Amino acid sequence: MVRWRTVAGGMALQALMGIVLIRFPPATHVFFLLNDAADALQRATDAGTAFVFGYLAGPPLPFVETHPGASFILAFKALPLVLVISALSAMLFHWGVLQFLARGFAWLLRRSLGISGALAIGAAVHVFVGMIEAPLLVRPWLARMSRGEIFALMTCGMAGIAGTVMVIYAAILGPVIPDALGQILIASVISTPAALAISALMVPFDAGRDDAAEAAAISREHRPLGTLDAIVTGVADGVRPLVGIATVLIVAVTFVTLINMALALLPEAWMPAGGGPLTLQRIFALPFRPVMWLIGMEWDEAGVAAGLMGTKTVLNEFVAYLDFVHLPPEAISPHGRLIVTYALCGFANFGSLGILVGGLGAMVPERRHEIVGLGLRSLLSGTLATCCSGAVVGVLS
């Protein structure tokens, strides 16, 4: 039975949080101040990568750049930020800062949506960590969560992004989106109640249990001995997502390219009417065009936005954001660019789906069959949640 309190409350909470974070100047100012911190972090990281990798990390170059952007090497310029953010997150976790923020957000979710403490904590920490790290924090409760709660947790993972990549995306979007890090963080925050509302509608779950122990579930199996140990542990933990991003990008782009090469062999009668070859991205973009129009895009811009959503679904949001910043200025208006930024801000893609299903299945192997069965639904629900965020910012901006 659908719990309408969770559905209505989630959508209302998303709208209310959007109003506060986007239209209330003091709150907006606090979030946008993070951009100055992000710029400083990027410059400091550039100094470290330049010391290790030399000119591969960026200018000054020992040769003439043949065209703008040719010196940007993703592996040396952007990905090292993952290590820095991972170390910073571990330090803030050790100091208790992230726990304080997550518990506050979890309390808000529990009181407004009536969900269990374990689900509230799992949903709240998705704003700061990835789709596998968040369930690990509530691992003792996974086995006894209802099917709907498991699905809600999966949806939150698909609708958000990890703190380790927020600064990277903000650095990428900086040239085209003002206050990019603040926008990315707001998008991740307001997508969470929408994810809970949509998941409660698609796979209903029971009322939350009032278990105070669940609200204190934020912990780690290995507690650092001090700040220095936390930083070292954070760097070590950051190696896995860094390698994961690089390898998934390589494999995903390779497989999609192979599929697109096969699609190019089809007869001309199968080719799209608008010209250009048939690709997997264009196929997945088709249903997104009316969706992007419904959330506030102009119809003549919705096709470009739909193409980016198709790229995000087939590959990932990293590639989609890279394609986004390389669009000509006239392709999408400033208002439309903000909507697209929010709609793309989530892990809902096929590569992440494999990671999520594999990771959760390993944590609770006795429920692996349920998790696999809910996988594609979570991809859809996570995408819908980020599109709702795009609609909210479209109305409020």
Break the chain down into helix, strand, coil percent, rounded to 5: 75, 0, 25
Q: What does the DSSP 8-state code read for residue 365?
A: G
The residue with greater pLDDT, 72 or 162, is: 162
d(CA 216, CA 232): 26
* Helix pair angle (163-173, 25-53), 10° resolution: 90
Rounded alpha-carbon distances, angstroms, from residue 32 to 129, 244, 276: 20, 29, 40
Could you state, in order of their start, the residue ranges of all structural domains in the chain? 4-60+68-396
Give the dihedral sign, CA 155/160/161/163. Answer: negative
d(CA 167, CA 148): 32
Is 268 exposed, middle or buried, given 0-12, 13-18 or 19+ CB atoms closer than 10 A? exposed
Contacts with 311 (C-beta within 8 Å, 6 or more apart), sequence order: 281, 285, 319, 320, 323
Whole-number percent of the chain with pLDDT over 70: 90
d(CA 122, CA 131): 9
At 215 the pLDDT is 44
Q: CA nearest 375: which of 151, 147, 184?
A: 151
At 274 the pLDDT is 61
At 213 the pLDDT is 43
Q: Which of 9-13, 110-114, 178-182, 216-220 has the lowest mean pLDDT?
A: 216-220
CA 224 to chain centre: 27
At 27 the pLDDT is 79
DSSP string, 267-327: -GGGS-TTSS---HHHHHHTTHHHHHHHTT--HHHHHHHHHHHHHHHHT-HHHHHHHHHTS
Please provide the average confidence, as pLDDT, over all residues in the chain: 84
At 124 the pLDDT is 84
HSE-up (13 A, CA, CB side) for residue 153: 31
